[in-house]
Structure 1
Amino acid sequence: MPIHFQQLAAKGNASTLSIDNWVIEAGQSWGIFSSEGDIGSLLGDLICSEIKPVSGNLMIEGCRVAQVSLSEQQRLLEKEIENDDTDFLDRIDQGSSVYKLIFDVCQNDTLTLKLLDELDLEHLKSNGFRVLSTGETRRVMLARALATKPDLLLLDNPFSGLDIAHRASLAAYLESLAQSVQMLITFSREADMPDWIDSVALFSGGSLDNVMDRQSWDQHPIITQIKSQSEKQSEDMMNLIRRHQHSTHFDNPIFELKSGHVEYTDKVIFTDVNWCISKGQHWQVKGPNGCGKSTLLGLIFGDHPQCYSNDIHIFGKKRGSGETIWEIKQHIGMVSSALHLQYRVNCSALDVILSGFYDSIGLYSQPTRNEINLAREWLTILHMGEYEKTAFKQLEYGQQRLLLIARAIVKQPALLILDEPYQGLDYLGRILVKNTLELIAKENLSQLLYVSHYQEDGLASIHHFLEFKYDDTTRCYKGHIGSQ
């Protein structure tokens, strides 16, 4: 049965959806591209009846629907945290196992094992959900959706967070799946649009602008237009950063890790990592999902419990020699999926940016007038001035991520750690942030530590690389230093 949108308007927490007339015929799979705005989650919630239209009609009947989105992932992680039993155990609660999360949806052992195998989750089936990497978590969310045996599958940026190998395998898997399951797939990267997609819906600012065949999409000028818009916005952002530029002196090296090693009760993540970051260097950390990239960054930031069992020097101090964690964090800005999840307080958008001055989750100090004015300038440049008083959790995922990026940059830290910073951003937001990071690195306003699985996200000013590669002898990952 066709899906028919007719004079429809819908409203999410901080975004709207407007569709005059759109018919998706039975069996058709569509690519959905949004130049600006978090369309994927809103459209998914609408079709799954999580929200109701404000006006107009959506006709969809007799169809089992499942969705995979970052918002869904965030909701499941928050549920897992609420069920944390660490206080009643003699160990840290790692959350429900991968097997249980899939089995609970379908109550079918055969189907669960099949999905574990098809989505390369077999080796993770006993692992807790809360200790999975971003890419591993994304594959679990897809397995849970498929366990419901949907007729229609809504995928919001399905390749986000996946390493190169898993992006390739997922692309092939989805192409095969499209023979039996109808799909609507939202993309914020034009390169992620599968070749087998025949029709494309183009949204802008929450409104359906155009529908077209694949050939018309390949020739559409929207990408060129957005790049031009983002360059102007990036320059405005850099002018703001330059006006408030300051520097802090540290002796060489900025950071050093000797024989870095992280292991849990059941396995070693990485070992023998020797890494030194000198003044003025920008680094990219590479490696597959689950190799320990985010764990390594947690050692630097001080959020990982094994940061004190490793030989670490940072900003001229040996970790564990009496320095407070706040003395270290005041020189570091951080963006990561883990931080995004931890930011569960419901302070305003303005306070989120202001919290960057105090390295807090939420705002508990009285900011200065200058800090407030600077935070408001950031909101204006991000086109989020109207959300100044809006609660963080009432904003869409992509808007939240932009605020956390501004929070990390606002104090102009000596070290700026960016772990998959573009996750959840629309096309315009991603290009805007990438351009800005490139300029920050080029002008050495902060030193960057950068993680991204996409080659197109590489920054020209980054010449140093730490890459994790699996070592068969030690049966764990080791770090390899490279430069160009």
Structure 2
Amino acid sequence: MTAFACSLNVSCPEQTINLEIKNSQLWCLEFDSSTTMAFFMHEIRNHTPFSPTKSLPVKIQIVPYEITHHEEKIFFYQQRYHATENNEVITVNDFIGQNYLQQRLIGQSILRERRNDPITHLSTGEFKIACLLKAFQPESKIIFLEELFAGLDSTNRSMVIQFLRSLCQATKTCIIVTTTRPNESSLFDHYLKIYLPNQQYPREKHAIPLKPLFQNKPLQNFQYAFKLTNINVRYNERIILNNISWAVKKGEKWALRGHNGSGKSTLLSLINADHPQSYANDILIFDQPRKYGRNIWEIKDNIAYFSHEYFRYMDKSKTITETALQIINSNPYKPAKEPNTVTEKLTLLMQYFDLPVHKLNSPIYLLAPVHQRLAVLMGVLLKNAPLLILDEPYHYFDSTIVTKFNFLIDSHLNDTTLIFVSHNNNDFPSCIDHHFYLS
């Protein structure tokens, strides 16, 4: 395996970033904002700003935050909850690959007992690990990993970093992780914080009238948003949820926590009427039993729901406005909200988050990754439902966006029942006053 060294020179607004990198090094670049990181990665993709100081046998690989794969085109949203639909889906083993290095890393990961499971059965965190293992190609000499730790709990973050170190040593690869969140700097060979000078301060929070956005909530006459009693979910011999009970009253603000694979997303899919096993369990939604014959759209109409899986499977060819209308008008049996009203509210939110208003009519896929996610979340907020479920919403968000979003929740959603999921303690809104743990 040939040793190499090279210079990396990236011209960002206001400054040039210079790095001297060598084989077998593990880097982490922490950026001050999602915008700065997006600009940096754009330059890497389009200008390949490397100057070899020795022979550079380069295959440069960029593993994006939103990893997709060609097999995913046959999947559908929530397929992992439908056991009978997974018989023809490739296994975890086949998805990751058969070379020696990949197989060795599978054996050292939390996926070692899941080799023969359908790839759609994995949780968000488990799927991220599978994608990382799939990306480990020995011929790659420089690998960029965007927002590597989004969706991973602390145990898996440490485990992945150790995997990366093993990979660096075994293949003489230089791995560079990019992130907007602080991480365990001592675990990297080089940890660099990149802050651009003369950054403009974000718009004053109170400068835009936001209260009209969150009025006229439907269906407020209930005691319990949901009540789960002795919930069980299993696939053949694999138990996902075992005797789980949880009651959430109107207006309460809950944090749902648990390690990767503990069943958080499965539990939420029962509440959101997405999981087929909900009919076999004792579930009350808005004081009404979840049973055959009840209109599923009446349930979904009163829940505003966001998850990484929901985001991943959305049609990103739609514009921001079209996406918001689709989310808000989720019940096909109710009159649709006026597009002009929705556009007016979206305009206020775009201004609040310092996004160009003219992009309201842009397809979501043309936006930067952070703005894609924010565009969908704005539609979820404007649904103005009595129950708001946010399952790890802040992937790719820097601290400024998190602060602004949490301000909306803390200041304007007092009557809304909230379920919030994250592995990052800094993500939770201050209004959270209840905690539910899955182990």
* TM-score interval, normalised by the smaller of the two chains: 0.7 to 0.9
The answer on whether the counterparts of 2:227 and 2:285 sit within 8 Å (CA) in structure 1 is yes
Shift, 1:7, TM fit:
7.3
Corresponding position of 2:345 = 374
Q: Secondary structure at the match of 2:317?
A: coil
Q: CA deviation digits over 1:17-73, x for unaligned, max 9?
A: 8975634332454432333335657755765xxx533xx9554642233333322x2
**Range that drifts further, 324-333 or 458-467:** 458-467
Q: Secondary structure at the match of 2:145?
A: strand
Q: Secondary structure at the match of 1:424?
A: coil
In the alignment of these two chains, the number of paired residues is 421
The 1:118–1:66 alpha-carbon spacing in structure 2 relative to 1, beyond 3 Å, is farther
**Structure 2 gaps, min length 5:** none
Shift, 1:84, TM fit:
4.8
Corresponding position of 1:397 = 369
Question: Normalising to structure 2: TM-score of the pair?
Answer: 0.84
The answer on whether the counterparts of 2:256 and 2:436 sit within 8 Å (CA) in structure 1 is yes
1:328 has 2:299 as partner: yes
Q: Secondary structure at the match of 1:422?
A: coil
Corresponding position of 2:22 = 26
Structure of greater relative contact order (alpha carbons < 8 Å, 6+ residues apart): 2
The correspondence of residues 77-226 of structure 1 with structure 2, limited to 5 A, is 79-84=70-75, 91-93=84-86, 95-103=89-97, 107-108=98-99, 110-175=100-165, 177-179=167-169, 180-198=172-190, 200=192, 202=194, 209=196
The answer on whether the counterparts of 1:84 and 1:93 sit within 8 Å (CA) in structure 2 is no
The correspondence of residues 45-64 of structure 1 with structure 2, limited to 5 A, is 47=44, 51-53=45-47, 58-59=50-51, 61-64=56-59
Q: CA deviation digits over 1:229-261, x for unaligned, max 9?
A: 48x34x457x41455423442221221112211
The 1:257–1:21 alpha-carbon spacing in structure 2 relative to 1, beyond 3 Å, is closer
Shift, 1:375, TM fit:
1.9
Shift, 1:468, TM fit:
1.3
The answer on whether the counterparts of 1:6 and 1:20 sit within 8 Å (CA) in structure 2 is yes
> Quick one: which amino acid aligns to residue 377 of structure 2?
I
Shift, 1:408, TM fit:
1.1
Q: Which runs of 4+ in 1 moved over 6 A?
A: none
> Quick one: which amino acid aligns to residue 62 of structure 2?
Q
Corresponding position of 1:284 = 255
**Structure 1 gaps, min length 5:** 10-16, 204-208, 211-221, 470-484
The 1:325–1:436 alpha-carbon spacing in structure 2 relative to 1, beyond 3 Å, is same
Output the CA distance in 2 between the equivalents of 1:404 and 1:464.
Answer: 26
Match of 1:66 among 50, 61, 66: 61
The 1:365–1:154 alpha-carbon spacing in structure 2 relative to 1, beyond 3 Å, is same
Q: CA deviation digits over 1:293-323, x for unaligned, max 9?
A: 0011111111222222222111132222533
> Quick one: which amino acid aligns to residue 196 of structure 1?
F
Output the CA distance in 2 between the equivalents of 1:337 and 1:32.
Answer: 24
The correspondence of residues 179-328 of structure 1 with structure 2, limited to 5 A, is 179=169, 180-198=172-190, 200=192, 202=194, 209=196, 229=202, 232-233=204-205, 235=206, 239-241=209-211, 244-247=214-217, 248-320=219-291, 322-328=293-299
> Quick one: which amino acid aligns to residue 94 of structure 2?
K
Output the CA distance in 2 between the equivalents of 1:189 and 1:290.
Answer: 23
The answer on whether the counterparts of 2:325 and 2:337 sit within 8 Å (CA) in structure 1 is no
Output the CA distance in 2 between the equivalents of 1:115 and 1:157.
Answer: 20
The answer on whether the counterparts of 1:68 and 1:145 sit within 8 Å (CA) in structure 2 is yes
Q: CA deviation digits over 1:118-166, x for unaligned, max 9?
A: 3332112112222211111111122112243532221212221111221
Question: Normalising to structure 1: TM-score of the pair?
Answer: 0.77
Output the CA distance in 1 between the equivalents of 2:309 and 2:83.
Answer: 24
Shift, 1:455, TM fit:
2.4
The answer on whether the counterparts of 1:102 and 1:147 sit within 8 Å (CA) in structure 2 is no
The answer on whether the counterparts of 2:10 and 2:17 sit within 8 Å (CA) in structure 1 is yes
Q: CA deviation digits over 1:163-197, x for unaligned, max 9?
A: 12212323344455555431211111124545534
1:409 has 2:403 as partner: no
> Quick one: which amino acid aligns to residue 154 of structure 1?
F
The answer on whether the counterparts of 2:8 and 2:21 sit within 8 Å (CA) in structure 1 is no
Q: Secondary structure at the match of 2:393?
A: coil
Output the CA distance in 2 between the equivalents of 1:453 and 1:112.
Answer: 26
Corresponding position of 2:324 = 353
